[in-house]
A and B are shown apart, each in its own frame.
Chain A
Amino acid sequence: MALVKFTYALKRFFPKLTDTKAGGKTLKAVLAEIEASYPGVTRYVLDDQGRLRQHVNIFIDGVMIKDRASLSDPFHENSEIYIMQALSGG
C-alpha cells in the first residue's frame, strides 16, 4: 500500500490528519480513500473540476506529478505520496 503524507498546513483544518496507508491504484482512488477518512479534505486539495489546486503540489517518491488535471501519474505499491502546499503568499 502507498503511504500518503500531508503538509502540516492542512492540520489546521483537519487536526487528526496523519500519515495514512491507501490501497488505491490511482491517485484519484487514493484521494477518495483519504476523503472517506477525513471528510472534506479533497475539496482543499482539488478544485471544483477535480484538478489539483494551483498552489498545491503532490510528490510521488520525491518527484512532482505532471498531470495536475486528471491525476494519472503512476506509482508503486510502496510509494510515498506527499501532499504539500506551494510556498507563496504574504
Chain B
Amino acid sequence: MKSTLLLGTRKGFIAYRFQNNKWILENCSFEGVPISIAYADPRNGTWWACQDHGHWGVKLQRSKDRGQTWEEVIAPAYPEGEEVKDGVPATTRYMWSMAHGGKNYSSRLWIGTDPGGLFVSEDEGNSFQLVESLWQHPTRKDGWFGGGRDLPGIHSIIVDPRNEDHIHIGISCAGVFETTDGGKSWAICNKGLRADFLPDPNQETGHDPHIVVAAPSNPDALWQQNHCGIFRSTDGARSWQEVSEAEGPARFGFAIAVADDNPDQAWVAPADSDVNRTAIKGALVICRTDDGGKTWKQLRNGLPQENCFDIVYRHALVSNGDAVVFGTTTGNLFFSPDRGEHWQVINNYLPMIYSVQFAE
C-alpha cells in the first residue's frame, strides 16, 4: 500500500501519512479554500491543488516539497471569444479532473474542466492550452449539457499506459470519448449505455457517466458508475454492459474503484436514488464485485449502520493493493486494510470530501 493519502476537501488540501500502523495528518494547506482535486503526479512526486475560490475563480497550485511550499501557476483559461453555447462566454468554472501524460510524455499534464474543455500542458504545468479538437467536436454545443454541475464537465481522464496517445475521457453529460492520436481527434464510446433521463435513452451523446476508471492490470477493462447504473466494458469502451444489481444497493451512486491486480474486482459506494442522494436506509455500505459485476457483496463491517446521511463523491473512493479508502460528503474518512471486509475510521470531523488519492 502506498503510504500517503491526498484529500481535496471543501475547506482545504489535506494529506495523511501511514506511520506506525496509523494514518497521521501530515499536511493541511489552503485552509478554508475549496479544493476540487488534490493530485500527486506519480512520475515526480509533485502535488497539485485545484482550487475553487468562490469569489476569485479557479486557481492551480503545485508543491514539490510535499506541501511545505506552494507555487501558483496559471490555471487553464479559455481563449478570448470562446463560447459554451451561442451567447454564453466560456470561462473555467471548475477543474474536475487531472492526469499525467505518461512516461513517454514526461512534461505532459491533462486537466478536465467545467464547462467541458479539456486542457493539456506540455511544460509540466507552467501553461495549459485548450484541446481544440474536442472543444470543436460537432456534438458539443447541442449534445452536451450539465449533470452534477450546471454546465458540461470532464471528470475522468484515463491515459492508456500501453499507448499514451490513447485516452478515454468521461463527460457529464455527454458520455465517454476516446482519442487514439493524443487528442487530435475524438470518437464517441457510448454504445450500450442508457440515459434514462432523456426522451431517447440510447442517444449518441448526453449520457451521464459519473466516473470512468480503467483496470491498471488490463486497460481494456473499463468501469463506470453511471447515473443510470453500473456499467463495464471488456473491449476498451467499444461497448458497455450494465452490471447493476436488479435487487440490491449496487446501482445508483457516484464513485467506483477497480483493483490494481484484478480487472474483475471493483468497489462502488451506493446511494439512495438520484432523487434522495443519501445513504441507503440511513446506513453506509460499500459493495464489491469479484466476478466482473455478476454478483456484488455488501461490505458494512465498521461502517455506521444508522442515522447516517453520507454519500461518496465521484473522486473519493480509491483502492491500492489490499487497501481501500473513501471520504464522504459529511467529512468521514474510512480505511479498509482488507479490500473492504473491515473498515476503520481515519477521521469523523473533516470537511466535505471531494477527492481522495493514494500517493507515495
> Does A associate with B in a complex?
yes
Interface residue SS majority, chain B: loop
CB-CB contacts of A48-84 with B at 8 A, as 1s and 0s? 1111010110000000000000000000000000000
The answer to whether A48 touches B72, judged by C-beta atoms less than 8 angstroms apart, is no
Stretch of A19-27, A28-36, A39-47 contacting B (4+ beta carbons < 8 Å): A39-47
The answer to whether B54 touches A89, judged by C-beta atoms less than 8 angstroms apart, is yes
CB-CB nearest in chain A for B83: A49
CB-CB nearest in chain A for B76: A48
CB-CB nearest in chain B for A54: B55
Number of interface residues of B (CB under 8 A): 19
Residues of B within 8 A of A49 (CB): 78, 80-82, 89-91
A43 and B79 CA atoms in complex are apart in Å by 14
Residues of B within 8 A of A56 (CB): 55-56
Interface residue SS majority, chain A: loop
- Is the C-beta of B77 less than 8 angstroms from some C-beta in chain A? yes
A52 and B80 CA atoms in complex are apart in Å by 14
A9 and B79 CA atoms in complex are apart in Å by 28
Shortest CB–CB separation between residue A6 and chain B, in angstroms? 12
The answer to whether B78 touches A44, judged by C-beta atoms less than 8 angstroms apart, is no
A47 and B53 CA atoms in complex are apart in Å by 12
Partner of B55, one of A43, A50, A53: A53
A18 and B74 CA atoms in complex are apart in Å by 23
The answer to whether A13 touches B89, judged by C-beta atoms less than 8 angstroms apart, is no
Partner of A48, one of B54, B56, B77: B77
Partner of B56, one of A50, A51, A53, A88: A53
Number of interface residues of A (CB under 8 A): 19
Residues of B within 8 A of A86 (CB): 55
Residues of A within 8 A of B78 (CB): 48-49
The answer to whether A55 touches B72, judged by C-beta atoms less than 8 angstroms apart, is no
Residues of B within 8 A of A43 (CB): 57, 59, 74-75, 77
The answer to whether B91 touches A44, judged by C-beta atoms less than 8 angstroms apart, is no
A9 and B80 CA atoms in complex are apart in Å by 28
Question: Which B44-68 residues sit within 8 Å CB-CB of chain A?
Answer: 53-57, 59
A48 and B57 CA atoms in complex are apart in Å by 10
Residues of A within 8 A of B72 (CB): 13, 40
A53 and B74 CA atoms in complex are apart in Å by 17
The answer to whether B92 touches A48, judged by C-beta atoms less than 8 angstroms apart, is yes
**Known A40-B72, A43-B74; contact A50-B80, beta-carbon cutoff 8 A:** yes
Shortest CB–CB separation between residue A47 and chain B, in angstroms? 4
Partner of A85, one of B55, B59, B77, B79: B55
A2 and B55 CA atoms in complex are apart in Å by 24
The 3 closest A-B pairs by CB, nearest first: A47-B91, A48-B91, A44-B56
15 pairs, A vs B, C-beta closer than 8 Å: A13-B56, A43-B74, A43-B77, A44-B56, A45-B56, A48-B77, A48-B78, A48-B79, A48-B90, A49-B78, A49-B91, A85-B56, A86-B55, A88-B54, A89-B54
19 more A-B residue pairs beyond the given contacts A43-B77, A49-B78, A56-B55, with a C-beta to C-beta distance below 8 A: A10-B56, A13-B72, A44-B56, A45-B56, A47-B57, A47-B89, A47-B91, A48-B78, A48-B79, A48-B80, A48-B82, A48-B91, A49-B81, A49-B82, A49-B89, A51-B89, A51-B91, A85-B55, A89-B55
Residues on B lying within 8 angstroms of A by beta carbon are 53-57, 59, 72, 74-75, 77-82, 89-92
